[in-house]
A and B are shown apart, each in its own frame.
Chain A
Amino acid sequence: MLSYDFNPDERVLTCYFTGRLDTILSSQIAAELESKFESLTENTEKAAVLDFSLIFDVKEVNFISSSFIRLCVAGKKRVKDGSFSIRNSDPFIKKTFKIAGLDEILNVI
C-alpha cells in the first residue's frame, strides 16, 4: 500500500502507493505518512513544515478518492524547502487531477 525511499543527499522523500486509494485507506495512509514525516524532520511541532522534497509515486495506483486528493494538497502545503510532485500517474488519474483543477498546482506528471 505504501513504501518509502528517502534520499538524504538530495533530501527527497518518495512515497510509493499501490492499489485502490479509497477514503478508508487514505485516512490510514495519512496517519502513516504523518509518522514518517515526523521521523524525518527535526522539528517536533505537530504538522511541522517539511524541509525536504516530496514525491508521490502513483504508478501502481488504479483509483484515487477525493480523500487522497486532499492528502496530496495537504502534502503540498507542508513542503516549504523543496518541491512537491505526483509522478507516474496513469491517464485516468491525471484526468481526475485535471478536472479538480489541481494538476499544475500539484505538479502531476
Chain B
Amino acid sequence: MAENLMERANDILERAILASAEFQEFNQEQTDKVVEAVYKAALNARISLAKMAVEETGIGIWEDKVWKNVIGTQLVYENIKNEKTVGVISDDPVTGISEIAQPLGPIFAVTPVTNPTSTAIYKILICLKSRNPIIISAHRNAAHCTGEAARICYDAALAAGAPEDCVQMIPAGSRDFTQMVMAHPRVALILATGGTGLVKAAYSSGNPAIGVGPGNVPVFIDESADIPFAISSIIRSKTFDNGTVCASEQSVIVEEKIAMAVKSEFERQYCYFLSPEEIQKVEKIAVGKESMSMSPFIVGQSVEVIAQKAGISVPKGTKILLAELPGVGKDHPLSVEILAPILAFYIAKDYHSAIKLCIDLNYLGGIGHSAGIYANNEKRILEFSQLINAGRIVVNTPTSQGAVGGTFNMLNPSLTLGCGTGGKNITTENITVKHLINIQRVCRRKMNDKFFSVDRSKYLDENCNETDLRLEYHKNH
C-alpha cells in the first residue's frame, strides 16, 4: 500500500518536474499569455464556482463567494499582470547589480474549505505567473469545487500553450498521501492555507513552506471613531460569506465611556446581544470544550442556523450575535477564533485597559495575523499598531476585505496572508508572485574605493583601535 502511494507520489512529481522544465523555457510574453487566459476563464466561471462551493461545503453565501472569486481572479490578475517574472527583472547600472527571476519548481498548494475556489484560482495564477507548476491538495469537503476550479484553469492554461501537467490535483481524503507528497524531495515549496495542524505538517515536511494558519482578530473602536460608520463596517465584514474569512473580526473592544453608544448602534443595525444564558448555549455548539477551537459545524453558517442549533430565539433578520464577555481565554470559549457571525464584545474601563485586552486577544491564537482599529486619532492608531502583533493593522476598514487587500487599501490582493514569525511564517506580507521566485543577483565588479584605499597594514597593527580604523576608512584624501 505504502509502496503504491509512493509510486503515485513519484508519478505526480515526475509530471510536475517535466512541466517545470518546459516552463523554464518560457519567456515573459508566453507566461503572461497563459496567465491572462487562466484569469479570463476563471473570472467567467466565478458564479458557477461560487454556487458549487456553497452547495458542496454548505458554508457561506454564494454571492460573497463570487466576490471572493473576483478577488482571486480579477484583482490578483490586475495586481500581477505587469510584474516582471522572467529573466532580467531589474538592472541597476549604479550598483552594477542585475536581478534575474528563476522559478522555484513544483509548488504543493493546500486549499481550505472556507475559500475553496478563490484560493485555488489565486494560487494557480501566482504559480503560473512565476512559471511554477502547481499540485493542489483540496480540502476533503470541497474536493469537487476546488477540482472544477483547477480544471477550468488548467484547460485555459493548456489552450494558451502552457506545459502539460502545470496544474495537478491530488485526491482528497488521504492524509498519509497528502503528507507523502508534501514531504517529497522534489517539491520546491509548500503553500499551505488552512488550520494549525495543516500548517504544522507543512513546516514539519522538510520542504520550504509558506504556511498560513488561524487568526483571532481584535478590533478596537476608539472614542474618536465615527461609531455608526464603524459598526456598519464591522457588520459588512463579519457577515461577509458568513464570517469565513480568517481576517474577519473576532472581538470588538471599547472603552466604558462609549460602550452604550456602541451597543445601541449595534442593536440599531440589527445585531443581537446574547444574554449570559444564551452565551452558554452558543458556547456549547460553537467551541470545543477541550480543544478550545471552533466547531466545524458552525463555520460559515448563518445566524438563523446557529440560533437554531443553540436552541435560542433571536429577532428575525439578526445579522450578528454579540457576546459580552468578562475575560479572555479558556474560561471564555467565545473569545477564540470563530469563523461565523458570532462576535465577542468587551467593555474596558479605560483606553489602556482596552488595549491590554486587545493584546490578550491577539495572543490567543492569532499572533501575527490581522487587527483592526476605528479611530480618528493618529497617535492612538500608531500606538495600537505598535502594541499589536499583526501583519496587517487595518484602519477604519472592514478587516475581512481590508486584510485581503486590493479593495479598501493598496495591500497586495491575496488569499494567503503571512503572519510573520509569531505565526511561524517567514513573512508578514500578503503572499503574491514575488514570494514564488528565486531572485539571482548578478554582481558586477564595483570596487569599494574606501576599503581599498585603507592602509592595509593598519588592520594588522594591534595599536590601531576602532577610531583609527574608522578615520582611515572614511579618509577623503
Contact = CB atoms under 8 A, between A and B. Distances in A.
Q: Do A and B bind each other?
A: yes
Interface of A: 89-92, 94-95, 98, 103
A103 B363 CA distance: 11
A93 B387 CA distance: 10
Interface in B321-367: 352, 355-356, 359-360, 363
B353 to A, nearest CB: 9
Given A91-B352, A95-B359, A98-B363, 14 more contacts: A89-B356, A90-B352, A91-B355, A91-B356, A91-B359, A91-B383, A91-B387, A92-B387, A94-B356, A94-B359, A95-B387, A98-B359, A98-B360, A103-B360
Contacts of B352: 90-91
A103 B387 CA distance: 15
Interface in B350-398: 352, 355-356, 359-360, 363, 383, 387
Interface string B163-181: 0000000000000000000
A94 B387 CA distance: 9
Nearest to B384: A91
- List of 9 A-B pairs having minimum Cβ-Cβ separation, nearest first: A91-B355, A94-B356, A91-B387, A95-B387, A91-B356, A95-B359, A90-B352, A91-B352, A98-B363
A91 B218 CA distance: 15
Interface of B: 352, 355-356, 359-360, 363, 383, 387
Nearest to B383: A91
A101 B203 CA distance: 23
A88 B471 CA distance: 49
Contacts of B383: 91
Contacts of B355: 91
A89 B359 CA distance: 13
A52 to B, nearest CB: 26
Contacts of B360: 98, 103
A98 B356 CA distance: 10
6 contacts: A91-B352, A91-B356, A91-B387, A94-B359, A95-B359, A103-B360
Contacts of A92: 387
Contacts of A89: 356
A21 to B, nearest CB: 18
Nearest to A97: B359
Nearest to A94: B356
B1 to A, nearest CB: 43
Contacts of A103: 360
A95 B363 CA distance: 10
A109 to B, nearest CB: 8
Contacts of B387: 91-92, 95
A102 to B, nearest CB: 12
A89 B387 CA distance: 13
Q: Select the residue from A90, A92, A95, A103 with max chain B CB neighbours within 10 A.
A: A95
B413 to A, nearest CB: 31
Nearest to A99: B389
A98 B367 CA distance: 11
A94 B348 CA distance: 15
A89 B352 CA distance: 9
A70 B176 CA distance: 46
Contacts of A95: 359, 387
Which of the listed residues A89, A90, A91 has the most CB atoms from chain B within 10 Å of its own CB? A91
Contacts of A94: 356, 359
B422 to A, nearest CB: 10
B379 to A, nearest CB: 13
